[in-house]
Structure 1
């Protein structure tokens, strides 16, 4: 019998590994009784011939096999200005209405997508982690497409939100599983590699684990992660390894070019020749959802407004230096800065912990947070409903929400229930420590 030839390229090695993994999985399933086998939700039979990503440089359309996209996930990568967000938008537009979509929008660039295709737009800054988890369960239960706008959250709170949202999407009951595209722009913000994040280690690790779970465990639950990132070098390797389809755009840094070459199966020389020369909107497509062999593709047009496009060239205002100084009121700014010099110097000498405490007590909701804490502490570990707490403290719903949000950011509260039955209590471990 002739020996199987050794794979010559990374793409061939990758394809062989995927086939071997699938054979192992099928063999394992044969050992499990049919009634207990996990079943991945199947896509409905839909015509996919008109789902087009763009035009290949060799001529002809590059289509999207939706079923293969769901099974193999997708990573879109390109330097700033390469058109990765445009490409993600094109893919979402082409598949809208054919499959449920959950879109994570960290910069508020995809609002037009929600308006055009009827996705519910959710402002994440108005929901805490528990509410986001409940939202995710309901989205899966009712098979609704949504866009979650993270633009008013800071980076740490974005990571907390991702961990809560993705965790709940994955852990939803099996009867609610259905095929769902989960698209994440700027994915390196949520699953950073190494030290590329200033968030606390616990928050960073939870966020990375949630994105990794989406790309691995999510497949059998019908969830297909579609991630877009600027740099492969900034995205967690555990996330990259779970994608089987790739769109690689313009790259200029040596490390990114080498990583991209390994990903798409090009040798280094070809990658260094071609990838820095790609124009905005040109991507190398490879994977079973597109084509087995890497093909340079010009991504097609989009229907919805693309906020990420660079502004048009406009001449500066025709003012001389004196007029500009008066318009900007520079003298007033200099005076304000001088008056604040003493305060700034004192703040600089504070430790990070002291600066955090200073920010906490200067928050407008601090006084109400103190009243809420004073009411909840004697009730530990039972807690109280939000309605009862608001009545007892004589606060409006908005005032109580702001106060509890400030306390929740310190990790001292625990929420349960939904809607009118929603309740809050002091975090149990903390309550035990305070009693001891």
Structure 2
């Protein structure tokens, strides 16, 4: 039986909604949602579930939103300030070879967007190299396909170079299955995504969508019926309609929490423990002559066993615990000055203005031609997305602060409970009186700090 991951729970029965890993890793999956309703969240939920099981994947990330996955998982960051800068050193072919052996990566395109021809070339080279490798299943995840595979006439940050990335993402969508390479792509504007790519998606995850043109594209190219589309307009944040070969039954779900053969047939998907990332960085950036010599020598030697998965998982858990224990010591400095800075207040004010402009545009839609409406909405959404990208690091810091403060608060409560559970007596009461007072004082302070952080988080959403 194919391994499965849990995407969330069905709204009607609260039963677990599980996805077939095989159908996901070699299939074509579309994730569609209006801004702010869970598109990137859903992609990350799937990525984390697969990484937890040891399945490799690569995220092509135009906005740099997913590099934080490397804090919890062993993933290469491809960017000028990451592990490898493929624009200056290394080889996409060697990256692809490492990837199909079990190495996951994030290609952070946000660091290359000032040179669109470089960004487009990297995407094309990486996809081509992955399709040339015939491994045991690898998943490419593209966050916001509109930027990399736009419909003819739609605008992209890559400008004229978007035709290069569109060509290779289309090739991946139409021919990747035979090569064991799957595709998951997201978009908030299905109307502006290549219809060839959109129509290839047999697996569909559709969160809230409101614009008539986008709903029409979903109905036409994904084959959803009118009753489903009517309900999609009213979905709450994090709710989605799901159907396709990768799920046992179609239906509406709530997405769960996040913490990432031969030529003619679909290859069997296999998890495999990757080599160490330091070895991979050296491998990808190595001089070609030394690399060939090393591989020839390795071929003559006995092949070493793959490193066991359990120690790696243990190390990962220990690292998480270490980070939290360090964080407890800094709980009384939270929220940081960054989270209460005038710069953040200004960003939130501008972000809220952009949201209001979108609302006003929707209210005034009947007063203008459809072409004018589409042009203005695209401009307003681009502005809003720029502010959201700038706010994202503050949001991540606030969530970490909330976690650390909750942990520190629970730590003090447990210590107080421990004292209450000890043997009673006059001398014991004298000895523990100061400790109790300190713990009670710290609990009050932590509760106040946690309330401030949650207020900040609320403003950032």
TM-score, with structure 1 as normaliser: 0.54
Q: 1:123 to 1:238 in 2, by over 3 A?
A: same
C-alpha displacement at 1:124, in angstroms?
Answer: 5.6
Give the match's secondary structure for 1:277.
coil
Is 2:7 the partner of 1:53?
A: yes
Q: Does 1:133 align with 2:88?
A: no
Partner of 2:209: 251
Query: 2:39 matched to which residue of 1?
Result: 84
* Aligned twin of 2:406: none
Unaligned runs of 5+ in 1: 1-44, 305-313, 318-436
Do 2:21 and 2:246's aligned partners in 1 also have CA atoms closer than 8 Å? yes
Gap runs ≥5 in structure 2: 261-338, 343-461
In structure 2, C-alpha distance between the alignment counterparts of 1:272 and 1:225, rounded to whole Å: 24
TM-superposed CA distance for 1:130, in Å, is: 8.2
CA root-mean-square deviation: 2.7
1:320 corresponding residue in structure 2? none
1:12-161 correspondence to structure 2 within 5 Å? 47-48=3-4, 51-59=5-13, 60-96=15-51, 97-123=53-79, 126-128=85-87, 131-140=90-99, 142-154=101-113, 155-161=116-122
- What is the aligned partner in structure 2 of residue 31 from structure 1? none
Aligned to 2:166: 208
**Kindly tell me: are residues 275 and 124 of structure 1, through their superposed partners in 2, closer, same or farther at Cα, counting changes over 3 Å?**
farther
**Match for residue 280 of structure 1?**
237
* Deviation of the 1:287 alpha carbon: 0.3
Structure 1 pair 46/82, CA: closer, same or farther in 2 (3 Å)? same
- Deviation, 1:200, is 5.4
Q: Which whole-Å CA distance do the structure 2 matches of 1:207 and 1:300 have between them?
A: 31
CA distance in 2, matches of 1:156, 1:291: 42
Cα distance in 2 for partners of 1:232, 1:61 equals 28
**C-alpha separation in 2, matches of 1:299 and 1:213:** 30
Structure 1 residue matching 2:92: 3-state secondary structure: helix
Question: Displacement, 1:282?
Answer: 0.9
Q: Distance in 2 between matches of 1:315 and 1:110?
A: 25
Distance change (3 Å), C-alpha of 1:244 and 1:140: same
SS in 1 for 2:242: strand
Task: Tell me how far apart the structure 2 counterparts of residues 316 and 71 of structure 1 sit (CA, whole Å).
Answer: 46
Distance (whole Å) between structure 2 residues aligned to residue 132 and residue 80 of structure 1: 35
SS, match of residue 77 in structure 2: strand
CA distance in 1, matches of 2:94, 2:187: 26
C-alpha contact 2:3 2:21 (8 A) present in aligned 1:
no
* Contact residue 59 and residue 141 of structure 2 kept, 8 A: yes
Q: The residue matched to 1:151 in structure 2 has which SS?
A: helix
Report the CA distance between 1:170 and its aligned residue: 1.1
- 2:154 and 2:253 map into 1 onto residues whose CA distance is 31
Matching of residue 164 in structure 1 with residue 121 in structure 2: no
Relative to its length, the structure with more helix (as a share) is: 2
2:136 pairs with 1:182:
no
SS of the equivalent of 2:128 reads helix
Aligned to 1:297, which of 248, 253, 266? 253
Structure 1 residue 150: Cα displacement: 1.4
Deviation of the 1:178 alpha carbon: 2.1
Q: How far does residue 261 in structure 1 lie from its aligned partner after superposition? A: 2.7
**Residue aligning to 2:328:** none
Against the structure 1 CA distance between its residues 292 and 47, is the aligned structure 2 distance closer, same or farther, given a 3 Å change threshold?
A: closer
Deviations 1:313-337 (A, max 9, x none): x9996xxxxxxxxxxxxxxxxxxxx
Q: Aligned to 1:94, what secondary structure does the other structure show?
A: helix
Gap change, CA 1:297 and 1:237, over 3 Å in 2: same
CA separation of 1:113/1:140 partners in 2, compared to 1, >3 Å: closer, same or farther? closer
Give per-residue Cα distances to partners, 1:45-89, cap 9 Å, x unaligned.
7642xx210111111111011112234321101111111100000
Matched, 1:232 2:187: no
The answer (yes or no) to whether the contact 2:112–2:118 under 8 Å persists in 1 is: yes
